[in-house]
């Protein structure tokens, strides 16, 4: 099995360069939380430290109740507590889901573009083929809203369209909703919300992490919920495999899910950093695209991603190149809101010293993030040009579109979309595409408004 190179290793030379800056380094690359774990959560962990017995793979009743309560309260999603299954951080679940659903060679996993790289890894670990569009043989679709890296929020109509298409074919839809409480200028909606799923969770899974919401990345805490049949199947596999969340972590998760105040406080911290960083980037000539939710700013100044990474490293700011997330990010960088305030405050000053962009060739029109079959690559591999094509369709076949133009594929990719997109009765209805944002997001606005979460 050939897994992609671990992308972060390629960033090491730029980290060295950034560290050498006289002001030191501001690390806005990985997106690992830097603010304290809430005290009440730490206390809950400590209070459960005496845990001589094995934990329940299914989670304690208290944890499942707390998760169901959070889903209802914050997202307007009703699940039975029995349909909640804790996971050892959601990266673990994302990497294992195709295997744990019983998928294997011959199955295809439709992943977003640009995307968090672990969707691809999970498909490859199961010896499935990752694809970028709705081709034959898809057995699992990943949605990610709000998206990493772009911060794009899928609309209810877009999600309904994917769910409807998948249901007609008995395909599982898994929605990674890691950043769902970090909506800034858009309202993220869960795939399990009745507006999306029509009140039935059949064939659907939603994946929720506590890492970002509650600064719990070090605890490894998340859960998956949705279709009781699918959750029961996952529980069986995970019991056999020993995929248990430690008892003290389950207690900490229970406390974290019961409290929303610490989330409001954390949102305020991120909102402030976002305002400082967005303004500094705009002054330095960056265009910020999407970024309407989540933990990142998705920015470009038209040059190759690694050139921007190098320029920013020269002023001590470390960011992630968009190519870590696929071909669609070849001219973008991802800037995390996870720097300590005192360091983030130095970014505007540093930007004043930023070298100008190096535009070798005029940039093509930016590729909209989301379900665009724009080719996918992980890591710092050479980037092949995008095939010319029509306007973005979100990777979804649009009614009336020629099937062979319904999605793009990338030449030279290690894997490609194969076969024509399905046409005929199963063709998806045209769905409104959010804004025509191919040229960036004019009027980008920073807000500290609380999320309007259904």
Q: Which is nearer to ligand PLP, 158 or 176 (CB)?
A: 176
| Cα distance between residue 86 and residue 291, in whole Å | 29
* Beta bridge pairs of residue 296: 336
Q: Please identify which residue in 17, 64, 74, 91 interacts with ligand PLP, judged by CB under 6 A.
A: 91
- The Cα 441–Cα 437 span in angstroms is 6
Which residue in 26, 44, 94, 253 binds ligand PLP (CB under 6 A)? 94
Question: Which range binds ligand PLP by CB under 6 A, 87-95, 155-163, 395-403, 419-427?
Answer: 87-95
Stretch touching ligand PLP by CB under 6 A, among 2-10, 83-91, 122-130, 321-329: 83-91
- Nearer to ligand PLP (CB atom), residue 177 or residue 304: 177
- Angle of CA points 77, 82, 87, to nearest 5°: 85
Query: Considering the rule CB under 6 A, would residue 222 count as an interface residue with ligand PLP?
Result: yes
Residues 209, 215, 410, 416: which binds ligand PLP (CB under 6 A)? Answer: 209
Phi and psi (nearest 5°) for 83?
A: -90, 10
The footprint of ligand PLP on residues 396-435 (CB under 6 A) is none
In degrees, rounded to 5, the angle at the alpha carbon of residue 86 between the alpha carbons of residues 83 and 89 is: 140
- Burial of 271 per CB tally in 10 Å (0-12, 13-18, 19+): middle
Q: Which of 90, 150, 408, 413 binds ligand PLP (CB under 6 A)?
A: 90
Q: Any idea what the Cα angle at residue 323 is, between residues 95 and 404, rounded to 5°?
A: 85
Tokens of 129: 């083929």
Using the minimum distance from each CB to ligand PLP, give the nearer residue, 84 or 386.
84
123 contacts ligand PLP (rule: CB under 6 A): no
Per-residue x/- marks for ligand PLP, 278-307, CB under 6 A? ------------------------------
- The answer to whether 69 and 359 have CB atoms below 8 angstroms apart is no
* Contact positions with ligand PLP (CB under 6 A) in 19-58: 31
Q: Is 247 in the site for ligand PLP (CB under 6 A)?
A: no
Q: Least distance in Å: CB of 116 to ligand PLP?
A: 4
Q: Which residue in the set 27, 107, 129, 176 belongs to the binding site for ligand PLP (CB under 6 A)?
A: 176
Among residues 289, 376, 280, the alpha carbon closest in space to that of 333 is found at 289
- CA–centroid distance for 265 within its chain: 22
Taking the complex as a whole, how short is the minimal distance between the CB of residue 125 and ligand PLP, in angstroms? 15
Query: Which range, of 5-13, 156-164, 209-217, 345-353, touches ligand PLP by CB under 6 A?
Result: 209-217
Per CB under 6 A, the list member of 29, 145, 211, 254 interacting with ligand PLP is 211
Complex with ligand PLP: residue 222 or 395, whichever CB lies closer: 222
Task: Count CB-CB contacts under 10 A for residue 161.
Answer: 23
Q: Are 175 and 206 in contact (CB under 8 A)?
A: yes
Distance CA 292, CA 245 (A): 32
Closer CB to ligand PLP, 116 or 270, in the complex: 116
**Residue of 165, 192, 145, 198 lying closest to 429 (CA atoms):** 165
Distance CA 418, CA 400 (A): 20
Is residue 37 within 8 Å of 215, Cβ to Cβ? yes
Count residues near ligand PLP (CB under 6 A).
14
Nearer to ligand PLP, 176 or 292 (CB): 176
Q: Which two tokens stand for residue 112?
A: 């977003």
| Interacting residue with ligand PLP among 60, 144, 300, 308 (CB under 6 A) | 144
Gap between the Cα atoms of 140 and 128, Å rounded: 10
Q: Are strands 84-87 and 222-226 parallel, antiparallel or unpaired?
A: antiparallel
Residue with smaller CB distance to ligand PLP, 116 or 407: 116
Binding site for ligand PLP (CB under 6 A): 31, 89-91, 94, 116, 144, 148, 176, 178, 209, 211, 217, 222
């Amino acid at each position: 099995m050939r897994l992609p190179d671990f992308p972060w290793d390629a960033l090491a030379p730029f980290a060295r360069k950034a560290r050498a800056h006289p002001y030191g380094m501001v690390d806005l690359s990985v997106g690992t939380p830097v603010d304290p774990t809430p005290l009440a959560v730490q206390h809950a962990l400590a209070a459960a430290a005496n845990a001589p017995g094995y934990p329940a793979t299914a989670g304690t009743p208290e944890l499942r109740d707390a998760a169901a309560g959070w889903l209802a309260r914050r997202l307007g999603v009703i699940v039975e507590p029995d349909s909640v299954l804790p996971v050892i951080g959601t990266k673990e679940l994302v990497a294992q889901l195709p295997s744990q659903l019983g998928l294997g060679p011959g199955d295809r996993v439709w992943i977003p573009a640009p995307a968090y790289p672990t969707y691809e890894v999970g498909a490859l670990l199961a010896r499935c083929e990752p694809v970028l569009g709705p081709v034959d043989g898809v057995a699992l679709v990943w949605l990610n809203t709000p998206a990493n890296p772009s911060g794009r929020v899928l609309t209810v109509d877009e999600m309904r369209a994917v769910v409807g298409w998948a249901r007609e074919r008995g395909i599982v839809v898994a929605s990674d909703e890691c950043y769902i409480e970090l909506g800034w200028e858009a309202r993220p909606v869960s795939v399990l919300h009745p507006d999306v799923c029509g009140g039935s969770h059949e064939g659907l899974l939603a994946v929720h992490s506590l890492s970002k919401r509650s600064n719990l990345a070090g605890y490894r805490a998340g859960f998956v919920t949705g279709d009781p049949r699918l959750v029961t199947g996952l529980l069986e596999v995970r019991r056999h495999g020993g995929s248990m969340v430690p008892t003290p972590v389950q207690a900490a998760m229970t406390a974290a899910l019961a409290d929303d105040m610490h989330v409001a406080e954390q949102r305020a911290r991120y909102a402030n950093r976002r305002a400082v960083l967005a303004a500094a980037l705009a002054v330095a000539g960056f265009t910020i695209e999407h970024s309407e939710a989540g933990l990142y700013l998705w920015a470009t100044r038209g040059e190759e991603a690694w050139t921007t990474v190098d320029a920013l490293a020269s002023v001590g700011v470390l960011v992630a190149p968009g190519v870590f997330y696929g071909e669609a990010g070849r001219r973008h960088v991802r800037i995390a809101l996870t720097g300590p305030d005192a360091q983030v405050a130095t970014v505007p000053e540093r930007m004043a010293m930023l070298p100008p962009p190096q535009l070798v060739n005029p940039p093509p029109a930016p590729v909209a993030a989301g379900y665009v079959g724009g080719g996918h690559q992980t890591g710092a591999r050479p980037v092949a040009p995008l095939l010319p094509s029509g306007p973005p369709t979100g990777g979804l076949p649009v009614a009336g579109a020629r099937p062979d133009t319904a999605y793009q594929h990338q030449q030279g990719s290690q894997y490609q979309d194969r076969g024509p997109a399905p046409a005929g009765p199963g063709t998806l209805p045209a769905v409104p595409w959010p804004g025509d944002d191919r040229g960036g997001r004019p009027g980008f606005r920073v807000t500290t408004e609380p999320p309007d979460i259904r």
